[in-house]
Structure 1
Amino acid sequence: MSCPHQQWDRRRALAAATGLVAGSLLPLVGAGRGAAAPGLVPGSGLAAAAQYTNPVIWQDFADIDVIRVGATYYASASTMHYSPGAPVLRSYDLVNWEIAGHSVPSLDFGTKYDLNGGRGYVRGIWASSLAHRPSNGTFYWLGQIDFARTYIYTATAVEGPWNRLTTISTPYYDAGLLVDSDDTLYVAYGNTTISVAQLSPDGRTQVRAQQVFTTPSSVGTLEGARFYKINGQYYIFLTRPANGQYILKSSSGPFGPYTMRQVLLDLRGPIPGGGVPHQGGLVQTQSGAWYYLAFVDAYPGGRVPALAPITWTSDGWPVVQLVNGAWGQSYPSPIVPAPPRQVTPMIGVDTFDGTVLKPKWEWNHNPDNTRWSVNNGLTLRTATVTNDLYWARNTLTHRIQGPTSTATVDLDFSAMRDGDRAGLALLRDSSAWIGVKRDGGVTRVVMVNRLTMDGNWNTTGTGTEVASATVTGSRVRLRAAADIRPGAARPGTFSFSTDGTNFVRLGPSFSMGNDWRFFMGYRFALFNHATQALGGAVRVQRFELSTP
Structure 2
Amino acid sequence: MSLTGRECSRRRALTTTAGLIAATALTGAAPSAHAAAKAPDTAGAAAAAFTNPVIWQDFADIDIIRVDDTYYCSASTMHYSPGAPVLRSYDLVNWEFAGHSVPVLDFGAKYDLNGGRGYVRGIWASSLNYRPSYRTFYWLGQIDFAKTYLYAAPAAQGPWNRHAVIDTAYYDAGLLIDDDDTLYVAHGNTTISVAQLSPDATTEVRNEVVFTTPASIGVLEGSRFYKINGNYYIFVTRPANGQYILRSTTGPFGPYEMRQLLLDLPGPIPGGGVPHQGGLVRTQNGDWYYMAFVDAYPGGRMPALAPITWSPDGWPTVQLFDGAWGTSYPVPNLPPPPRQVTPLTGPVTDTFTSPGLAPRWEWNHNPDNTKWSTGNGLRLQTATVTDDLYAARNTLTHRIQGPASTATVILDHQGMRDGDRAGLALLRDSSAWIGIKRDGTAKRLVVTSDLTMDSNWNTTSTGREVVSTSIHGNRIWLRATADIRPGTGREGHFSYSTDGTNFALLGAAFVLKNDWQFFMGYRFALFHHATRALGGSVHIRRFELATP
- The total of aligned residue pairs comes to 520
> How has the CA–CA distance of structure 1 residues 95 and 35 changed in structure 2, closer, same or farther, with 3 Å as cutoff?
farther
Q: For residues 68-103 of structure 1, give each alpha carbon's deviation from its aligned partner in whole angstroms, at most 9, with x where no partner exists.
A: 001110000000000000000111111111111000
Q: CA deviation at 1:28?
A: 2.6
Name the residue aligned to 2:479.
479
Q: SS in structure 2 opposite 1:112?
A: helix
Q: CA deviation at 1:29?
A: 2.7
Q: CA deviation at 1:376?
A: 3.3
1:468 aligns with 2:468: yes
* Counterpart AA for 2:293: F
Q: CA deviation at 1:33?
A: 4.6
> How has the CA–CA distance of structure 1 residues 513 and 34 changed in structure 2, closer, same or farther, with 3 Å as cutoff?
farther
Q: SS in structure 2 opposite 1:358?
A: coil
> How does the TM-score come out when normalised to structure 1?
0.93
1:168 aligns with 2:166: yes
Name the residue aligned to 2:449.
449
Contact 1:35 1:286 in 2 (8 A): no
Name the residue aligned to 1:95.
93
CA distance in 2, matches of 1:40, 1:423: 51
Contact 1:172 1:189 in 2 (8 A): yes
Name the residue aligned to 1:15.
none
Name the residue aligned to 1:316.
314
Contact 1:489 1:514 in 2 (8 A): no
CA distance in 1, matches of 2:306, 2:382: 46
CA distance in 2, matches of 1:354, 1:39: 41
CA distance in 1, matches of 2:168, 2:103: 22
Q: For residues 267-323 of structure 1, give each alpha carbon's deviation from its aligned partner in whole angstroms, at most 9, with x where no partner exists.
A: 000000000000000001110000000000000000000000000111100100001
CA distance in 2, matches of 1:110, 1:454: 22
* Counterpart AA for 1:538: V
Contact 2:22 2:262 in 1 (8 A): no
Provide the identity percentage: 73
Name the residue aligned to 1:440.
440
CA distance in 2, matches of 1:434, 1:500: 16
Contact 1:372 1:381 in 2 (8 A): yes
CA distance in 2, matches of 1:397, 1:217: 41
Q: CA deviation at 1:352?
A: 1.0
Name the residue aligned to 1:18.
none
* Counterpart AA for 2:25: G
Q: CA deviation at 1:31?
A: 2.1
Q: CA deviation at 1:64?
A: 0.2
Contact 1:273 1:486 in 2 (8 A): yes
Q: SS in structure 1 opposite 2:390?
A: helix
Contact 1:151 1:164 in 2 (8 A): yes
Contact 2:20 2:319 in 1 (8 A): no
Q: SS in structure 2 opposite 1:191?
A: coil
Name the residue aligned to 1:306.
304
1:358 aligns with 2:358: yes
* Counterpart AA for 2:186: A
Contact 1:35 1:287 in 2 (8 A): no
* Counterpart AA for 1:425: A
Name the residue aligned to 2:513.
513
Name the residue aligned to 1:52.
50
| Correspondences of 1:502-541 after superposition (within 5 Å) | 502-541=502-541
Contact 1:403 1:484 in 2 (8 A): yes
Q: CA deviation at 1:439?
A: 1.1
* Counterpart AA for 2:383: A
Q: CA deviation at 1:531?
A: 0.5
CA distance in 1, matches of 2:383, 2:303: 35
CA distance in 2, matches of 1:295, 1:34: 25
CA distance in 1, matches of 2:241, 2:197: 32
> How has the CA–CA distance of structure 1 residues 505 and 69 changed in structure 2, closer, same or farther, with 3 Å as cutoff?
same
Q: SS in structure 2 opposite 1:479?
A: strand
Name the residue aligned to 1:422.
422
Name the residue aligned to 2:3.
none
Q: For residues 40-72 of structure 1, give each alpha carbon's deviation from its aligned partner in whole angstroms, at most 9, with x where no partner exists.
A: 857xxxxx9611000000000000000000111
Name the residue aligned to 2:178.
180
More deviation, 335-344/260-269: 335-344
CA distance in 1, matches of 2:543, 2:298: 22
Contact 2:30 2:229 in 1 (8 A): no
Name the residue aligned to 1:262.
260
1:212 to 200, 210, 213: 210
Q: SS in structure 2 opposite 1:216?
A: coil
Name the residue aligned to 1:229.
227
Q: CA deviation at 1:210?
A: 0.7
Name the residue aligned to 1:395.
395
> How has the CA–CA distance of structure 1 residues 70 and 376 changed in structure 2, closer, same or farther, with 3 Å as cutoff?
farther
Consecutive unaligned residues of structure 2, counting only runs of 5 or more, are 1-18, 32-39
> How does the TM-score come out when normalised to structure 2?
0.93
